[in-house]
Structure 1
Amino acid sequence: MRNRYTSLDILRAFALISMIIFHAVWDLVYIFGIDLQWFKSDAGEIWQQSILWTFVLLSGFCFNLGKKRLKRAITVIICAAIITIVTYIFMPENFIIFGVLCFLGTAMLITIPVDKNLKKIHPYAGLIFSFINFILTKDIMFRKISIFGTELCKIPDSLYQNELTAFFGFPHYGFFSGDYVPFIPWIFLFFCGYFLYKIFKRKDLLKHLSFVSCRPLEFIGRNTLYIYMIHQPLIYGVLFLIFR
């Protein structure tokens, strides 16, 4: 049996712990009214993006390692649907649709049938092409193509119609989600992770991903999805008891 790449589990665990702390601070600020101006600044945005980038890159990287890809993708999508239903019923003001789990499950599902074609692409070319497209489409939700904040062209309003277009990255006016990770641009970052794995494999670097060991963090990394599903209710419950 192939040994797990423990470094990936540990990195995933750090990202999850960071996300849990981030959500705890978010609840403090936006639900319990604690004034933390730094969290509303670029610092909070950078923190949130660092977590998301890590999860998406890891998911793309680890897609190449999984054997039960279809089962995994469907499981993640079902978990995303549960979050959507629960937030719609109990927290409509923070309703979540097309969040990170929805994206990750969809990205895995879409990659399964195109995997054979992706393998034909040189990994360096695939990585560069994917990253360029990620940067160019990062602001499409704001109706523009840009590069590092500089607008290159506007996107026609006709593409921003409904929930379906919002799923792909073209949200209509009035669209809201407490956690919004659209298919575009994030699928390109997912592919960056996918091609990074190919580079690691080509350069015989995968063996170095098993040199680090930390059992508690490895456990967290292996059970990220389950912890993700329960962490927010637990955080809210604890904070409610403290600040009620």
Structure 2
Amino acid sequence: MSALASPSPPRGEGEKERRPRLDAARGVALVAMAVYHACWDLTFVGLADFDLFENPLWLAARTAILSSFLLLAGIGLVLATERGLDRPRYFRRLGRLIAAAAAVSAASYAVFPDSPIFFGVLHHVAAASVVGLLFVRLPALVTLFTAVAAFAAGQRLGFPLFDSPWLRWIGLTSFAPDSNDFVPLLPWISGVLAGIALARLWPGVGRGVLPGGVVGRGLALAGRRSLAVYLIHQPILFGVVWLIAHSGLIAVEAPATRGFQSSCVASCAQTSTPAALCEERCRCVQSAITATGQWEAFLADRLDNPSRAQIGAAIQSCAAR
């Protein structure tokens, strides 16, 4: 549903020696992810108007949260293989990730058929868990160099060949696919590779006493079960927000209505009309169209000719004010 998720830490990451600070770091990232998703949910149902996809601060927040999960996934992969690859355990974890990713895709196709999640963060972590095995024993500087190259390639390169639905997951598309959570291999695998390099350079990462008392223990517990937390938190959040929006207790402005108002004001402003007057005229237009009973048909562009003429007259009347 949104652009963030969290894989569980690989088993074997301290099966004999847990690294509580890494668990707590995952827990902090989970809290940040839940806040972001709650804001997405509130905006989607019309209870808020957060500019999640255009505002630089929101974009930076999404990047930071997602990068933190990928960095931790890379660290976990090194710790899980430091005594050699436990194949049964590795493939069980990979199977869980693939199954969870498939479940997220299936749910998104049912709820958002126009923008489904076909390669989100769980898909990415599953793929990166395979690719990352090539780097867990390489020198850290080689892995860091590869991370920088992957980031640069994903940011700067795009080819029509990779626009194919079968190749989009690589990340070299010439356009951004319409998806509620698209985390292609490039450039995002750079986060996993950076985590692998960090764990190689800092073998003691995550060791130490867990700070924060009860809060710290709670964060660490959530971090140890991060896949489960991811799979259940968004349905619960979205369900609560949806119930509030449809309770009738709060006036809700649909996203399409907000979109009309903002685009109407923007078009009006291009005529050098004062902003306050543009907002007044656009509210007038919206009220006039609603009064005709044609608002939904207007938004969906399903008006017949008589209705178009009626609404055209109403718009001209508002413009003459």
What TM-score does the superposition give when structure 1 sets the normalisation length?
0.82
Measured in 2, the distance between the counterparts of 1:122 and 1:227 equals 34
Aligned-residue offset at 1:33: 5.3
Equivalent in the alignment of 2:202: 200
Matched to 2:141, the amino acid is: Y
Q: Which has the larger radius of gyration?
A: 2
Q: CA RMSD in A?
A: 2.1
Equivalent in the alignment of 1:58: 72
Question: Where does 1:127-138 land on structure 2 (aligned, <5 Å)?
Answer: 127=144, 129-138=145-154
Residues 30 and 9 (structure 1), Cα distance of their counterparts in 2 relative to 1, 3 Å cut: same
Equivalent in 107, 119, 139 of residue 122 of structure 1: 139
Q: Which has the higher contact order (CA 8 A, sep 6+)?
A: 1
Equivalent in the alignment of 2:244: 242
Deviations 1:166-188 (A, max 9, x none): 01113365832110000112223
Number of positions where the alignment pairs a residue of Structure 1 with one of Structure 2: 221
Question: Where does 1:1-244 land on structure 2 (aligned, <5 Å)?
Answer: 2-32=16-46, 34-37=48-51, 40-66=54-80, 67=86, 68-112=89-133, 114=134, 118-119=136-137, 121-127=138-144, 129-139=145-155, 144-145=156-157, 155-157=158-160, 159-171=161-173, 175-201=177-203, 205-206=204-205, 209-213=207-211, 214-244=216-246
Residues 39 and 98 (structure 1), Cα distance of their counterparts in 2 relative to 1, 3 Å cut: closer
2:40·2:52 contact (CA, 8 Å) conserved in 1?
no
Aligned-residue offset at 1:226: 0.3
Aligned-residue offset at 1:231: 1.1
1:97·1:178 contact (CA, 8 Å) conserved in 2?
no
- Point out 4+ residue stretches in structure 1 off by more than 6 angstroms: none
Residues 224 and 156 (structure 1), Cα distance of their counterparts in 2 relative to 1, 3 Å cut: closer
1:13·1:224 contact (CA, 8 Å) conserved in 2?
yes
Measured in 2, the distance between the counterparts of 1:234 and 1:90 equals 15
Equivalent in the alignment of 1:149: none
Measured in 2, the distance between the counterparts of 1:156 and 1:223 equals 39
Q: Structure 1: any 5+ residue segments left out of the alignment?
A: 146-154
Matched to 2:90, the amino acid is: R
1:169·1:185 contact (CA, 8 Å) conserved in 2?
yes
2:51·2:58 contact (CA, 8 Å) conserved in 1?
no
What TM-score does the superposition give when structure 2 sets the normalisation length?
0.64
Residues 40 and 188 (structure 1), Cα distance of their counterparts in 2 relative to 1, 3 Å cut: closer
Matched to 2:183, the amino acid is: V
Measured in 2, the distance between the counterparts of 1:38 and 1:166 equals 23
Aligned-residue offset at 1:97: 1.2
Deviations 1:168-221 (A, max 9, x none): 1133658321100001122232111111111112xxx34x62322422111100
Residues 84 and 172 (structure 1), Cα distance of their counterparts in 2 relative to 1, 3 Å cut: farther
Q: Structure 2: any 5+ residue segments left out of the alignment?
A: 1-14, 81-85, 247-321
Q: What SS class does the counterpart of residue 241 from structure 2 fall into?
A: helix
Q: Percent identity?
A: 27
Residues 38 and 198 (structure 1), Cα distance of their counterparts in 2 relative to 1, 3 Å cut: closer
